[in-house]
Amino acid sequence: GLGTINIPVVVHVLYNTDQENISDAQINSQIQILNEDFTASNNDLNQVPGEFEPVVADVNVTFTLDQVIRKFSTKTSWGTRDAMKDASQGGSDAVDPSNYLNIWVCNIGGGILGYAQFPGGNASTDGVVISPQYFGDQGYVSAPFDKGRTATHEVGHWLNLRHIWGDGRCRQDDFVADTPASDGPNYGCPSYPTVNCKSNDMTMNYMDYVDDACMYMFSEGQKARMRAIFAAGGPRAEFR
Ligand code: ARG
Ligand code: ZN
Ligand code: CA
């Protein structure tokens, strides 16, 4: 195996209001949550139902904050077309995406918590974007998305994970065998069992759409899919 893979992180804070210029403490709270969630050391892991306990995964990926770039902007919302990643559009250019996870923290608008780019895409737009009030678990945060799980979810996409329902009906796959089929996202805080497609949904998976407090695991199959992209010749091989 590849052992522990450490990901150096660059956080770009693009702010219009003082609130959006989130504190170092808020940024550090998010880095800590990523570290907990990707090493199965989150303190809510004990809520996983017995059915799914055998497939709970320690992904064995860690995160280290390398640099915070702060920039005032006259823009009050940024949308989802990557303007925040481009200095010529008032954003902040990605820093060496082969060797750093770039996270842009800026108001996306439209009620969107975050979005991500899958591995293998354009280097200049590689990374994840998260609105400030859904980043970390202290400071300028907004319930029920105030436990830092938006970044966990988006970094899951950045590491090649699909939503657990495969973004389609029962037969649409997420390319992970141990996440049961489902026909759509779950929201809020579903009770167990939640049955769709004749199996119990893994609603507590980070790649569903539930509230932050109700998602607390990755599966072994997801771990294998994520770690595969770090192999020699893979799209994130340089992080090893
Ligand atoms: N809607 C976003 C996406 O599909 C993020 C969902 C995050 N969910 C959460 N509970 N924080 O990428
Ligand atoms: Zn998603
Ligand atoms: Ca599956």
> Which atom, in ligand 1's list, is nearest to the CA of 149?
11
**Average of pLDDT values for 229-234?**
96
How many A from CA of 104 to the centre of ligand 3?
30
Cα-trace Rg, the chain: 17
How many A from CA of 25 to the centre of ligand 2?
26
The angle formed by the CA atoms of residues 230, 235 and 240, to the nearest 5 degrees, is: 35
How many A from CA of 11 to the centre of ligand 3?
32
pTM (2 decimals)? 0.98
Token pair belonging to 165: 């329902």
**Average of pLDDT values for 221-235?**
97
**Residue corresponding to tokens 């489902």:** 182
Conformational region of residue 10, where left means phi above 0, alpha means psi within -120 to 50, and beta covers everything else:
beta
How are strands ordered across the β-sheet holding 128-130?
61-72, 5-15, 101-105, 128-130, 114-116
3-state secondary structure of 212: helix
Give, as residue ranges, everything with CB less than 5 Å from ion ligand 3. 174, 176, 179
pLDDT over 70 for what percent of the chain? 100
> Which atom, in ligand 1's list, is nearest to the CA of 208?
8
| Ligand 1 lined by 154 (C-beta under 6 Å) | yes
Mutational test site, ligand 1, from 145, 161, 209, max ligand atoms within 8 Å of CB = 209
Mutational test site, ligand 1, from 80, 133, 135, 153, max ligand atoms within 8 Å of CB = 153
Mutational test site, ligand 1, from 112, 113, 215, max ligand atoms within 8 Å of CB = 113
pLDDT value, residue 196: 98
Say which amino acid occupies 166: G
For the stretch 5-52, pLDDT in tens is 999 999 999 999 999 999 999 999 999 999 999 999 999 999 999 999
pLDDT averaged over every residue in the chain:
98
- Work out whether the CA dihedral 192, 196, 197, 201 comes out positive or negative: negative
Q: How confident is the model at residue 70 (pLDDT cuts 50, 70, 90)?
A: very high
> Which atom, in ligand 1's list, is nearest to the CA of 150?
11
Give Cα 12 distance to the centre of its chain: 16
**Average of pLDDT values for 99-111?**
98
* pLDDT higher than threshold 80 for residue 1: no
**Bridge partners, residue 102, by sequence:** 10
Catalytic site includes residue 154: yes
For the stretch 53-65, pLDDT in tens is 999 999 999 999 9
For the stretch 156-209, pLDDT in tens is 999 999 999 999 999 999 999 999 999 999 999 999 999 999 999 999 999 999
Token pair belonging to 45: 């892991």
Say which amino acid occupies 33: I
Helix (H) or strand (E) holding 13: strand 5-15
Taking every pair of Cα atoms in the chain, the longest distance, rounded to a whole number of angstroms, is: 51
